Amino acid sequence: MKYSNNILETIGNTPLIKLNKITADLDALVLAKVEYFNPGNSVKDRMALKMIEDAENDGRLKPGGTIVEGTSGNTGMGLALAAIVKGYKLICVSTDKQSKEKFDVLKAVGAKVVVCPTNVKPEDPRSYYSTSKRIGEETPNAWYVNQYDNPSNTVAHYESTGPEIWSQTDGKITHFVVGVGTGGTISGVAKFLKEKNPDIKGWRIDTYGSVFKKYHETGIFDENEIYPYVTEGIGEDILPKNVDFSLIDAFEKVTDEDAAIYTRKLAKEEGIFAGNSCGAAVKGLLQLKKHFNKNDVVVVLLHDSGSRYIGKIYNDDWMNEQGIKTESIF
């Protein structure tokens, strides 16, 4: 008989799927690493499990303990699956800009959800960064994960996602494109791939309202770059320790509108029902068209599932309220 002993054993080994219609104008072969095939429907399952296992091994997380994390939803889902199997409680702290579906899913798998305001500075005691840290300190037998600065986040992708991509492309990958949030995916994958072949290029997709692109280009952390944005899952108003800028060749910014439209186009044209940051990644890839040729093999990582965004990106009324004309999708 062939079976998994628990849901955690199904994490990883996600498929690489050729994009056809949406990338028809590109000369390169474009392959999507579709991470919603993980059991928690996102790439974050990988690092959630790794962070928990490492904390168990060094004693930071003790039997029967409570896991506390600030999350936009996907990391929380990965942590929730591991908490169920391993017998931990989970408190997820998030922001009010996240989709309702993300909160509903977290509650469905037993997590307590605390919602904080989005439009406050990271150091504000009301922010989800400050709140999650405080809850971790105040809760007995708790462990505060801190995915932004937790090195196990990066290690997870160095040990799993990177090797999978290398193997699936027979080592022929020339470019890796991915949105950047906590930095773990890009840093872990890029480190592995560049050790295999230093010529592999890594482009990171950012959003307007985030500090990453300007910091990478100038070394300046410019607070004037920070303002509210709609796109979920990428961009930051802080510099996480997991973002290794030395492994990044360039950043490309994508607007909220384009991210939303191309998320819908992925579903309509490729049958890939993906999340908001996935549309940003694909649009960023298309904006980089001039850098590709017919011999290139480009891998774009698609972080999560569209099921998290039914009430927003996949809702015409919501799109129209944001001033995004859905006619351009059809």
Which residues, other chains included, contact 248 with Cβ-Cβ below 8 Å and sequence gap of 6+? Answer: 180, 186, 190, 202, 203, 204, 216
- Ranges of residues in the chain with a pLDDT under 50 are none
- Domains delineated in the chain: 7-37+157-329 (3.40.50.1100), 44-144 (3.40.50.1100)
Give, for 95, the enclosing helix (H) or strand (E): strand 89-95
User: pLDDT digits over 138-158, tens only?
Assistant: 999 999 999 999 999 999 999
User: Which of 85, 87, 116 is CA-nearest to residue 8?
Assistant: 85
311 CB contacts (<8 Å, ≥6 apart)? 99, 100, 101, 318
β-bridge pairing 89-95 and 112-116: parallel
Output the average pLDDT for the chain.
95
What secondary structure letter does DSSP report for 58? H
Of the candidates 33, 44, 50, 253, the residue annotated as catalytic is 44
- Which tens digits make up the pLDDT trace of 85-137? 999 999 999 999 888 888 999 999 999 999 999 888 888 999 988 999 999 99
Q: Which two tokens stand for residue 149?
A: 């600065």
What one-character-per-residue DSSP string does 235-267 give?
Answer: --SS--TT--GGG--EEEEE-HHHHHHHHHHII
pLDDT score, position 128: 86
**Model pLDDT, residue 130:** 93
Active-site residue flag, 294: no
Tokens of 133: 């840290």
